[in-house]
Structures are given as structure tokens and as C-alpha cells.
Amino acid sequence: MAPAVSGGEIAFEDIFEVIDRDPDGKKFDKVSRFRCRSQFEADLDIDINVDIYNLEVGTRFTLVLSPTLSLDGTPEDANYDQVNARMNDRPPPIAHTLTASIENTVR
């Protein structure tokens, strides 16, 4: 894993460009599926609540996957600590989840 700026760990980081929106049609009112490609030709299909974070075709964004939101790499615990610096305290706004589905496919 690559070290984060303040000593934490980043599992994955890449810049993606949105190449398609809702390729199979719109299925939910507030969620769109975005098909994206990175500068290193990694493909990403991601579902995003467009009321919170709306993307347009051609937009570029950075995706970072980390085992923790703490900048120093401290593991998450059940209690929220609003005093310590965290990745989501820095702009631009981010979304975070504790679970994700990742599929590796070889072409």
C-alpha cells in the first residue's frame, strides 16, 4: 500500500474520467450509474447519489480507497472522533463507505 500524505495508508488511488452515465437506463430517481475509465485503463462502474455528488460525462475525479479515514492511518473504531483530522475534513467533499464490492476482471 502506498503511504498517505500524513503516514496513513492508501490501498488504491487513481484519476478517472466519466465516459457514460446510466448506460443501461435510469433505474433509480436519485442514483445514477457512471461508467468511468482511468488514465491507466482501469474500468470503474460506480453508483452515486446525484443529489449529493453529481457528475457529468467528461468529468475527471480522483478515487481513493483507504482502510481508514484517519490521516495518520489509525484504524477506525465504533466511536466518531470529531477532534482528530480526517480525510473527509479536507475539500473536496467525499463519500465514504465501510463496505464495497470490487471485481477484478482480466480482458
35 Rama sector, left if φ>0, alpha if ψ -120 to 50, beta otherwise: beta
Please, which residues bridge with residue 5 across strands? none
Q: Which one has a higher pLDDT value, 107 or 93?
A: 107
What pLDDT is attached to residue 2? 45
Provide the residue ranges of all domains of the chain, joining segments of one domain with +: 2-89
Are 96 and 42 a contacting pair, CB within 8 Å? no
In CATH terms, the superfamily for domain 2-89 is Nucleic acid-binding proteins (2.40.50.140)
What pLDDT is attached to residue 1? 39
Identity of the highest mean pLDDT range in 4-8, 53-57, 75-79, 89-93:
53-57
What pLDDT is attached to residue 83? 61
